[in-house]
Structure 1
């Protein structure tokens, strides 16, 4: 099973994310991701079996208590891979440190986790027809994305793109 850990945007954030997605689509084309599939990836595990999945879930359950409370989304852009995204303009030190602690715990459990630097973002578009301009025509309004839980998501490949299924989730500790 192909899985990853992510934070899902609360329902009250989806209208703003849809506006950004629409504005980016006008500028760069591409395929809009369905709003229920938008997520902030925390750690990608790839293909794992049942025992590894349980070890990963144990790590996430322990880590969830200290999940930072929010992430400021104030930037949009694109990558050469044809991805249109939104995320923080500057690195969020608390989230970066949390993700690296989670990755370390997963590695200590014998799970393979990607080594590339963590770039928090939500993918809004795939297969862009052209790159987004370096600076959007209007400033991107701020959106504070509440990070309420760590969700375990299964991903499957389909003809119309990836399909996602939420398998489990662990909530942040109250007041943290």
Structure 2
């Protein structure tokens, strides 16, 4: 067996997964327009509109045999729907990401993230334990020395959440929806 084949076999045994809010087509188009404005201000590389999302909880690499556990955990989440107003364009110098943020994220967003963290933790599944900072990445390799433009607020009506699998390829990342759950 070649080293490359061994790596491919190992990759098939695990999935790189995360929970997210996924935009509908109208919101995706709106976010793509904003990415154009951020790109004009900061340069860099615009995100593929098909991959733009709001991460809730990044699990990372998980054995595929454990996916049913993760699906069951998410199915047990009972959280109300909410709206997030993204009203702040900004740029992080440390990783050169231009993004949209929310000056006043709703409690419902943090409640959903907290419920996911607690349930995933209780299931004994590891995840990225950084403090949650809601943002939508729109441009990578941005020149953050420039001032972000003022933008019209965008309202994201969160009515469901998804579990996504991330796969890397020559063109960047591609995502596959594994499951979707409604918010109440």
Q: Please, what TM-score do these two structures have when normalized by structure 1?
A: 0.88
1:82 aligns with 2:93: no
Distance 1:156 1:4 in 2: 12
Question: 1:141 aligns to what SS in structure 2?
Answer: coil
Aligned to 1:39: 53
**Per-residue Cα deviation, 1:69-124 (whole angstroms, up to 9, x for no partner):** 22111111111201111120234322112201210110000011111110111111
Distance 2:165 2:50 in 1: 14
Aligned to 2:34: 20
Question: 1:165 aligns to what SS in structure 2?
Answer: strand
Following TM superposition, by how much is the alpha carbon of 1:134 offset from its aligned partner in structure 2, in angstroms? 4.7
Aligned length: 169
1:140 aligns with 2:154: no
Distance 1:150 1:144 in 2: 16
Give 5+ residue unaligned stretches, structure 2. 1-14
1:172 aligns with 2:183: yes
- Higher RCO (CA-CA < 8 Å; seq separation 6+): 1
Give 5+ residue unaligned stretches, structure 1. none
Q: Please, what TM-score do these two structures have when normalized by structure 2?
A: 0.85
Aligned to 1:105: 119
- CA contact under 8 A between 2:41 and 2:148: conserved in structure 1? no
The change in CA–CA distance for 1:84 and 1:67 in structure 2 (over 3 A counts) is farther
